Amino acid sequence: MTVTVTQVVDGSARPAVFEYGDFLTLNDKASSQVKRSYRKLNGSSQPSMIEKGPLRIVITDSPSDFTIEQHLSELMKFNVKHVCRACEPSYSTSALTQAGIKVHDFAFPDGDPPSDIIISQWLDTIEECFISGPNILKATDRISVHCVAGLGRAPVLV
C-alpha cells in the first residue's frame, strides 16, 4: 500500500509517498506520521487483540494527554491491568495509575530491535502477569502494549 504524507518544511508543503515496507528506513518522526496515516486509511486504529495460550495482550497506538481518557475507557473495556510503553513517554500516566493500571516503560528506537535488557524486562512482565507469581492476572484480565502507531515496536515485543 502507498501512503502519502504531506510535511510542511520551511513553509512549503511537500508530499512524501511511502510504501508500507519503507517504514523501517524513515526517521522516527516521519515513520510515526506514515504509520498513523496507514492505520487511518485501513481503519485499523482499533486495538488489536492477541490471545495465545495464557497470553492476553492488546496492542494499541499511543494516547496523548488530550486522548488519555478515551484511551483509558478502551483499556477498561478489555480489562487491562498493565500498560507497556515501547516508545518514549508522551503522556501523563496519572489517569492510568489512578484506575489501578500499572505502567511499564520499555522504550527502544523505532526500527531497531529491543535491547537484551528490554527483552528481559518484557519477559519478566509476561511471566509475572500470565505464568507465575503473586500478581498473576485473572483469566479475564489483559495487558496492553503500545508504541507511537501500534505497528512497529509494540508488535515486535509481542
For residues 81 and 104, what is the distance between their CA atoms, to the nearest angstrom? 11
Give the cell for residue 140: 479475564
Residue type, 62: S
For residues 143 and 58, what is the distance between their CA atoms, to the nearest angstrom? 6
Catalytic site positions: 110, 147
For residues 11 and 95, what is the distance between their CA atoms, to the nearest angstrom? 37
